[in-house]
Structure 1
């Protein structure tokens, strides 16, 4: 992308950003647990609407479905931006959409802007923006979660690694590739949303995977 954007490009980017935010706002974890009769997810465990808290209901199937759907909305937001915008600025529209989808999950309009932490949605968005970066993030998440048995340790590891991976793969030039900047912004948001988890990790009080099932 070079030079000033034409007005139609700005409108398209605004439209895809809005769609990404709305898509990110869909609370699949809450919807699935309510439909399955597993209770109000906001009253269970940490009260979070993500897959880790869904697992605390004892329903692994619902947790897996939540994980997949939350990742899919991040991925789909990026794909929509790629498809809806011309090649000259599609990469930048997709990068903005990736961040907007994660913002939507963290601050969903449908739940009074009180949402999740953006892990699965962020990973899905990064898989679409830069598959290798996303795969490295997934590997770090799964590996560290398995090693530590603490989901948030895996998540934090993934979002520390992905901006570095994106930088190594794409360089740091917003004009050339907006992917590293998108990875950085998404990671900063996700890590900030984990501030309570970080405090519990440091104090040794963070729950381990499998704890807190009903």
Structure 2
């Protein structure tokens, strides 16, 4: 074959050599396949859609806007609350359902905080040792607090709600809730959105006369 190649015209030999070089160069630039995305990366790319406040899964005082998205193995709502303090940042509740994990036990704090994007200000450096613990009709909850100036307090609170405390749809193991709330007042006032009356009560916009209907944790429209 080599001898035959020597008898080819010079121009033809040049073309063959150039073609071979291009093929080899192309092979050198073949990229490795992209690794599959993690669950967190998929969730980061999942957009939020605004839903009516009346479709919130909880009933906290001061609700202004509600956003929702579907996730792998659950759904998420973010309920924005009024902020009448001088503290920057959003007062909000982040609520996530867990579906099909068979995990209705205790809240996995580190995983939950990672999945919701980390701790909000001013609690970025809060450790688990900073939390206080209590319980109400829906079970245990924990919170940390920071005081600013005269009369301003911020709380960071977390809890897990299970079907024993309120109705959850079939397949949903639990509903995890994070609250960041800064108020001019007391810690008790700041904690109101995550306590049993707000979490287990009927939806905003319920009919008058106390005939509020209990919404399931997936009552909002799927996105």
TM over 0.5: no
Larger C-alpha radius of gyration, 1 or 2? 2
- Structure with the largest fraction of helix: 1
- What is the TM-score of this pair, normalised by structure 1? 0.29
